[in-house]
Structure 1
Amino acid sequence: MLSNKSVLITGGTGSLGKELTKTILKNWPDVKRLVIYSRDEQKQFQMAQDYPTSEYPAIRYFIGDVRDLERLKRAFMGVDYVIHAAAMKHVHIAEYNPDECVKTNIGGAENVIKAALESAVTKVVALSTDKACAPINLYGATKLTSDKLFIAANNIKGHKDIKFSVVRYGNVMGSNGSVIPFFLKKKKEGVLPITDPNMTRFNISLSGGVDMVLHALETAWGGELFVPKIPSYKIMDVAKAVGPECEYKISGIRPGEKIHEEMITSSDSFTTYDLGKYYVILPQVPGWKLDDYIKEFNAKLVPEGFNYSSGENAEWETIDSLRDLITEHVDPTFKP
């Protein structure tokens, strides 16, 4: 799929960007070019220690901000596929700095779309979040807006051969700023802060997130919003998995947080289809024949009123399974 193709990852020095880089270089050693686009020179310097251009001649490190349209246009020259992972993602920081969040998550999305439409890019996959579903915080609202922009971009492409799609998933296990690395650090102090003991979240591994992005790159017809079928966990089970001997101190919900997250609302059910491994929310007015899509992917419409919530999930992580996942995906030396 990526053989002799040029791929650009915005936010390429983030957790998912680095996992995508590892996967692409391993599975497609003949990738033509892999551009790591991000604004943090220190993170690029550190990433270049792991993936030096002398050893990986396809890789390029490109300093730039998604807020800068002209810089994006230059970066997109000769690129076939774009994976848009750059974002401000911390809920409470976005609440305190709303204008910065809007500039990056909405303005940045607009710039990625404009730059893609003015270049030879043929596929764009944008990363979303469960917080974009029925959002109550600014971060979620900006990502919902971003989702809508990317899906609607298929309506303005004209005769260009380009497809825009979105992938939406829950908390990525072990990603920067996520709860498990935070708990592992706090465990040394003997106290784990719990926002609310009833809180639940969806859980996906970095490799699972990468698989989903690659699935969208390979199969998207344009306008789809892909949602994975993944388990949930209870925040108290995470705490018990990490620090069973620790004190649990209730700190209260931070601004903009939910007790449970959703990835598909009942209002989405009218255009949501079950693809087997994934759900997909289709555009209300697709640019292709719906019957052809259903036949191609054996897609089955979900029941009217269906919703997908972390608090009402059919699949759950246990304390033991969480420990296994922490050892596998976060810290191989982990011991509870």
Structure 2
Amino acid sequence: MIDLKEKSILITGGTGSLGKALTKEILTNYPDVKRIVIFSRDEQKQFQMAQEYPEKQYPQLRFFIGDVRDSQRLIRAFKGVDYVIHAAAMKHVPIAEYNPDECIKTNINGAQNVINACLETSVKKVVALSTDKACAPINLYGATKLTSDKLFIAANNIKGNNPIVFSVVRYGNVMGSNGSVIPFFLKKRAEGNLPITDVNMTRFNISLQGGVDMVMHALANAWGGEIFIPKIPSYRITDVASAIGPDCEIKISGIRPGEKVHEEMISSSDSFYTYDLGKYYTILPSIPNWNVADFIGKFNAQLVPQNFAYTSGNNTEWETVDSLRKLIKDHVDNSFEV
């Protein structure tokens, strides 16, 4: 567990689902935190979030309007900050395919701006959020996030004598997050039909709390350059449809541009650098600036077999229709009934 007493922490994209969950976690479990800065570009979402956390009750919470495309604004925001969680991204696959230059400006140029701003200020640790789509990407969003991952990993090699540590967390679909399949199906079931792109499709599933736990684990334990990956269950899209709308008609719409049938988090090519940490996997940097043997000893890390791959299709742990219904009621919509 990381010590946040009298520390300042900044979250880019802090008004998103994970940013809000992280804010709640820190305010609840780290009451001695000095400051939490919510950095994002949507003033309406900041206004709404501020209503949930009145300034008199939460004086340590601050809101900072800005865009990760603006390097000078980032430097201004990062002054006096100890830890940065980089969650800002353009993430909708079809929109990124249609507007590639905009996706590149935010996800790649924005990542480099964050790195530069951290190196220019006194930031001590940085955790960047990745996605399963960054593993063997076939769409632009995944390609930009893979590039972002590479930038954050390589930043450990250009920091000189700066003790800053950069790491990455990669996970699959966050249950109930904005734009994800479960809220979409919950809205569509009132129409009596649920569109599915492919009946064989599978996805990883992680709760918001699971994502928060991963970020906090990386903040506490990263040595620099790791990509942390959770061991989480998969679900079949058809099971999600059955859980939400068992009486709905299923409409097959076909694979969308840039969409995979099964998502990947670790490719066979990554297996040479991938270690099992127990609760998580980690892909170590190919050129670490620390001793790998020391890392293995510290965390009892076990190298995975060669050609090991971790995909939503070859997973050994699966959600069922019944377990999905319970998860939806517990984590997405407590009024959910079938």
* Shared fold, TM over 0.5: yes
Structure 1 residue 173 corresponds to structure 2 residue 175: yes
> Which amino acid is 1:287 matched to?
N
What is the deviation of 1:229? 0.2
Q: Structure 1: how far apart are the matches of 2:20 and 2:149?
A: 23
Q: Structure 1: how far apart are the matches of 2:53 and 2:254?
A: 41
What is the deviation of 1:53? 1.6
Match of 2:201 in 1: 199
> Which amino acid is 2:314 matched to?
E
Match of 2:256 in 1: 254
Structure 1 residue 299 corresponds to structure 2 residue 301: yes
Match of 2:111 in 1: 109
Deviations 1:293-323 (A, max 9, x none): 0000000000000000100100000000000
Match of 1:220 in 2: 222
Q: Structure 2: how far apart are the matches of 1:318 and 1:152?
A: 40
Q: Structure 2: how far apart are the matches of 1:161 and 1:311?
A: 40
What is the deviation of 1:242? 0.5
| Runs of 5+ unmatched residues, structure 2 | none
What is the deviation of 1:187? 0.8
Match of 1:96 in 2: 98
Match of 2:332 in 1: 330
Q: Structure 1: how far apart are the matches of 2:330 and 2:125?
A: 32
Q: Structure 1: how far apart are the matches of 2:275 and 2:10?
A: 29
Secondary structure, counterpart of 2:313 in structure 1: helix
Secondary structure, counterpart of 1:35 in structure 2: strand
| Runs of 5+ unmatched residues, structure 1 | none
> Which amino acid is 1:85 matched to?
A
What is the deviation of 1:225? 0.3
Match of 1:124 in 2: 126
Q: Structure 2: how far apart are the matches of 1:254 and 1:51?
A: 39
Q: Structure 2: how far apart are the matches of 1:245 and 1:2?
A: 49
Q: Structure 2: how far apart are the matches of 1:8 and 1:217?
A: 12
CA RMSD of aligned residues (A): 0.5
- Of 4, 8, 11, which residue of structure 2 is paired with 1:9? 11
Deviations 1:167-203 (A, max 9, x none): 0000000000000000000011111111111100000
Match of 2:86 in 1: 84
Runs of 4+ in 1 over 2 A off after TM superposition: none
Deviations 1:93-146 (A, max 9, x none): 000000000000000000000000000000000000000000000000000000
> Which amino acid is 2:326 matched to?
D
Secondary structure, counterpart of 2:10 in structure 1: strand
Q: Structure 1: how far apart are the matches of 2:19 and 2:5?
A: 19
TM-score (normalizing by structure 1): 1.00
Deviations 1:7-27 (A, max 9, x none): 000000000000000000000
Match of 2:192 in 1: 190
Match of 1:231 in 2: 233
Structure 1 residue 45 corresponds to structure 2 residue 34: no
Q: Structure 2: how far apart are the matches of 1:243 and 1:53?
A: 42
Match of 1:153 in 2: 155
Q: Structure 1: how far apart are the matches of 2:31 and 2:188?
A: 39
TM-score (normalizing by structure 2): 0.99
